[in-house]
Amino acid sequence: MGPQGLEAPPTPSMSSGLPPQPLWLQPRPRAAGWDPPTLSPSAGVTQCPGPNLQCLSRGRGAEQGVRGGHRLSSMSHRMLWGGRGDPLPAPPGRGAPAPTPVLPSTSAAPGPSPAATGTTGTIGTIGSTGTMGTTGTTGTTGTMGTTGSIGSTGHGEAWPWPWAQGSTSSGQHRLTLPLPVPRVPGVKAAPRGSALALGLNSVRIRCQNEAVFQYHITFSPEVECRSVRLAMLKEHQAVLGDVMAFDGSILFLPIQLPQLLTLRVQRRSDGQDVTISIQSTKVLEPSSDLCIPFYNVVFRRVMRLLDMQLVGRNFFEPSQALVLQQYRLQVWPGYTVSIRKKDGGLFLLVDAIHKVIRSESILSFMRSIYRQSPGSFQEECMKQLVGSVVITRYNNRTYRLHDIDWSKTPQDTFTLASGEVVTFSSYYSKTYGITIKELEQPLLIHRPKEKLSPEGKPRLDLVLLVPELTFMTGIPELRKDSRMLRTMRQSPQQHYQRLSSLLQRIRSSTEASRELQRWGLLLEPDIHRTQGRVLPMERINLRHGSITPSEDLSWAKAVVREASISAISMNYWLLVYPWRLQSLAKDLVCAMESVCGPIGMRLSRPVLLELQDDRIETYARSIRSALSSEEKVQILLCIISGSREDLYAAIKKLCCVQCPVPSQVRGVGTLSGQPAKLRSVVQKVLLQMNCKLGGELWGVDIPLKQLMVVGMDVHHSHSRDMRSVIGFVASMNPILTRWYSRVVFQMPHQEIADSLRLCLADALQHFHEMNHCLPRKIVVFRDGVSDSQLDTVLRYEIPQLQKALDTFESYTPGLVVLVVQKQHSTNLYTLATEQLTAPPPGTVIDHTVGTSSCIPAAPASPWAPPVSLWLSPHPCGSHHIPVALTSSLWLSPHPCGSHHVPRLTFKLCHLYWNWPGTVRVPAPCGYAHRLAFLAGHILHHEPGAQLCDKLFFL
């Protein structure tokens, strides 16, 4: 039994004395109107190892069995996957896996089958012609007529296939074989879900050139400046043509030159003759990966020809800015464009975006901080500015601020590349014609990423910015303003119209079209349209039953009216509050007592800890004293006045590191208001506290047995030490509702693989302690990885996972590593109506526009090929959909079919207990992100080991 007599799901290792199963764990009845055939051994039934399991053979040995021939006493496992009837993996020690499918021959002669009479049968042969014989009749001979169907006995079988629809008047199950579908390059069959017509913000590119030719260029004597090199090449346009892409040493041309070509040119600076040697090196296909970089250079030229300005990596139109005077903001419309190679060919990925620019400068922002906090001016500036992204209007470049130099002013000097020493004020006056008014302001510091000097040595330059000429971007504090968000939001139809407008502008511009034609690039006139599928909706399982979510995939009302799967009684807990909030604390306890019953929790009266003031020292001293004197405290609930990050951080450090105990901190602003509002807030607080105590709120059907799901994410700190934090969580029970967590700190440039092996080995050890067995299937969700880091994950992190598995003797589980990418520009639209709309939750695309062919190859091994897909798990209303990209990098002896990957991912998007609905990423990734952020941003230390089996970080 669970704590305080509450029912908890049993662990698989317990063989006796189990409590009654919840309703949602009990086997479900078969669907009405379907009954599996009952066959005797004489009809070709082979007994297989394992309870309640039989293999329907074809009278010629079990090795010729048919897919879908397993017959179970309970159809619950089959129904969890929607009744596809796929063969289940053989459990350990229960014999061989399901036999290979063998279809009946279609060339058999019509007539009675060999087993003519005397057996109970629904088995017959399928002929090339003939009628369907009677079925389900004892001792009836199945004959074959003229329409190719099933007799009652013989070599054939009546399989419960997914496409078997309806029945005849005699109780027959009509078998309708699917028509063959022509194979389209890049398109895979959709094994699960209903079909849905979709559009993407991608435009297919046709390459009209037969090839692209690569050449290596050398100059004798050496020419240092790359722009001078390019100018020398352009003097020979009669030979090379006017279409070229040159990076300083490698030249790409759409025409073929001799194997070795020598040209001569005179250097203008001193009149010296320079010899240019052009050596042919490669002949590339137009869609080669080596061509993609300069294709993107070509398209950036196209965007400039459309009078767009490059800001960072994207293009914007400041002349079309939307000015919001009431917010002192400007919204610049723009586009992000890139040419990518997908499974279906070359595509132009286009996204309509906006950049929010504040009208006030950083200097004005700093002055407002000084008026509010003159005593802690520098500290507040550092807190609010460091880590933010700013833009300089004079060159439209963006920078991330890393520090503030209070000792430097615009009157200080620096050295130009020419060696001239100038002041900041004179430099801006001469270069940009800008006069700096405030000469005593400090300078902002941006530290670029480490670069190499021409000599190959590391070089790290500092960029100093003047606050008066710098403006903040983004709207972090204005996201709560729903009116402003509605002003900026685009519907899918508006988003599509902006993409269509850009394509029309390219076609209408003679110069832009010519630039593309020079390289043989032809854009299709509209966005790419394809077909996806929609996964079935998931049931939400609670203690006494299950519910079907509403259309918006929310079950917020159900989780506060029905009991959670397991609830931990709060028998001894602390309530900490300042004396000024005594009345609020009393109302809070009353509200908690009134709402705890429906969700299945038992609540005792708390130990009240009333403070004389709300200083950090008072909170820390009182909490430490209470926890040291009372060892049986289950959880701590603190009420703080206002949104005080310093006080919140102090309480969390104390309760997570120094005196490990689950804690819940709430601001007074969220607890005040009308009684109805307080009741709603208290319900959410109790659910969170139940999670932190080790309770389980809700679940979904998980058909895979002995499964462990792992989530990993990395938090990168912008502080001076620049340490990164790895959050690692792993499931500990069959229904994926118990979790083990670890945190690892690492220095810059240190590979995550250095600590990954230890995390997984510890998780496997805890899994064994709880279940008395090791998982046979491990699915790892790796978050926070860009395309450029996929090779690092494949070659450094995955081998560490393998080493963790090797620490256990004779242990070879199935392993899948999935990379979840949230930061991308792919959008989906449904094409069911005249107006484009957002696709429904559960929409999947796993063909054509994926990148599985671009994923780095795995080391030589028998692993399965990678899979790339887009999954839309979360409803997004009128906004175009932000989808989660999942790439399967590593498939060891496959723990589940590749078509199950999106279904399992979609299920996990229902299990994030901080939100009673679906979320954008699988729950393990969400938990790992919360854990890494708490440890890296607030704790700056590893949490206590006593909390590793609880979701204390929610």
The active-site residue out of 157, 468, 515, 713 is: 713
941 is catalytic: no
At CA 678, angle to CA 675 and CA 684, rounded to 5?
145
Three-state DSSP string of 55-71: EECCCCCHHHCCCCCEE
**CA atoms of 544 and 596, how far apart (whole Å):** 16
The active-site residue out of 86, 468, 538, 783 is: 783
Sheet holding 843-845, edge to edge: 739-746, 724-731, 707-716, 777-783, 814-821, 884-891, 867-872, 843-845, 529-534, 194-200, 828-830
In DSSP terms, 347 is beta-bridged to 204, 340
- Other beta carbons within 10 Å of 231: 13
The active-site residue out of 438, 751, 791, 806 is: 751
Q: Is 739 exposed, middle or buried (0-12, 13-18, 19+ CB in 10 A)?
A: buried
**CA atoms of 707 and 771, how far apart (whole Å):** 11
- Helix or strand holding residue 905 (H, E): helix 900-908
**C-alpha distances in angstroms, 502 versus 336, 496, 712, 882?**
11, 10, 39, 21
452 sits in the region (left: phi over 0; alpha: psi -120 to 50; else beta) called beta
Question: How many residues are recorded in the chain?
Answer: 954
713 is catalytic: yes
751 is catalytic: yes
In DSSP terms, 71 is beta-bridged to 54
Q: Do 648 and 665 form a contact (C-beta atoms < 8 A)?
A: yes
- Could you tell me the two tokens for 78? 């089959």
Half-sphere exposure of 883 (CA within 13 A, CB side): 27
In sign, the C-alpha dihedral spanning 630, 631, 633, 637 is positive
Pairing of strands 245-246, 250-253: antiparallel
Single-letter amino acid, residue 230: L
The three-class DSSP label of residue 311 is strand
Spatial CB neighbours of 837, under 8 Å, sequence gap ≥ 6:
492, 493, 829, 830
- Could you tell me the two tokens for 186? 């890049």
Can you list the positions of beta strands (E) in 201-255?
202-207, 212-220, 245-246, 250-253
Among candidate residues 522, 908, 520, the one with its CA nearest the CA of residue 701: 908
**CA atoms of 775 and 761, how far apart (whole Å):** 12
Spatial CB neighbours of 69, under 8 Å, sequence gap ≥ 6:
55, 56, 57, 87, 98, 99, 157, 159
Q: Do 250 and 216 form a contact (C-beta atoms < 8 A)?
A: yes
Which residues are annotated as catalytic? 713, 751, 783, 929
